[in-house]
Amino acid sequence: MEVVPAALARLIHDFERLPGIGKKTATRLALHILRRPEAEAHDFASDLAELHAAIRLCECCFAFSEHNPCMICSDDRRDRQMICVVEGPGDLIAIEKTGAFHGVYHILHGVLSPMDGIGPAEIKVDALLGRVKAGGVREVLLATSSTVPGEATAVYLTERLRGMVAVSRLACGIPMGMDIKYADEHTLARSIESRMTTK
């Protein structure tokens, strides 16, 4: 006997296809939507349906945006001589939340992973090199993750940009508030490598 109605089962399955969502969470989300007023469900469905029509990639930095160029690229207050290279749109959002970066961005939409068939042609490397070659860029800040593919991408980009522009790397190390004795040796080693001179 089928306990879950077919329409609800389809929605649960749709949620399960999202990253980080398992069967229990998918079921909880689907039941939550079912319990909400029908108008809210229609609004939710409408927002999902309009997403691909409303959002495009910025022609400059490849961020998701409703405008082309995006709001950051078209903001005259941003320092266009500084480009922060990130793996994906979520990384841009995280850096923007800090309020510490005032340049512009370049989103790779991936990292190098030869085992998965992802080489420089599959991510936005050529576009980055084109931006730098066009002139006016003083520094490229590589803000890829400290995973193996993220590190490999940073090394590759450093080599490709050598002699063209100053290249810096996002410092990695001990998080604020963490006791040093609890850090793993890789994090601690990276902290020492990324050390800064105090004033």
143-173 confidence digits (pLDDT tens): 998 888 998 999 999 999 999 999 998 877 7
Helix%, strand%, coil% for the chain, nearest 5: 45, 15, 40
Assess contact for 109 and 124: CB atoms under 8 A: yes
pLDDT band for position 197 (cuts 50, 70, 90): low
CATH number for the region 80-171 comes to 3.40.1360.10
What's the pTM?
0.81
Fold classification of 6-54 is Helicase, Ruva Protein; domain 3 (1.10.8)
pLDDT, tens digit, 9 for 90 and up, residues 110-143: 999 988 899 999 999 999 999 999 999 999 999 9
Assess contact for 32 and 64: CB atoms under 8 A: no
Please check the confidence at residue 196 and state whether its pLDDT lies above 70: no
Q: Give domain limits for the chain.
A: 6-54, 80-171
pLDDT over 70, % of the chain? 96
The pLDDT, as a whole number, for residue 156 is: 95
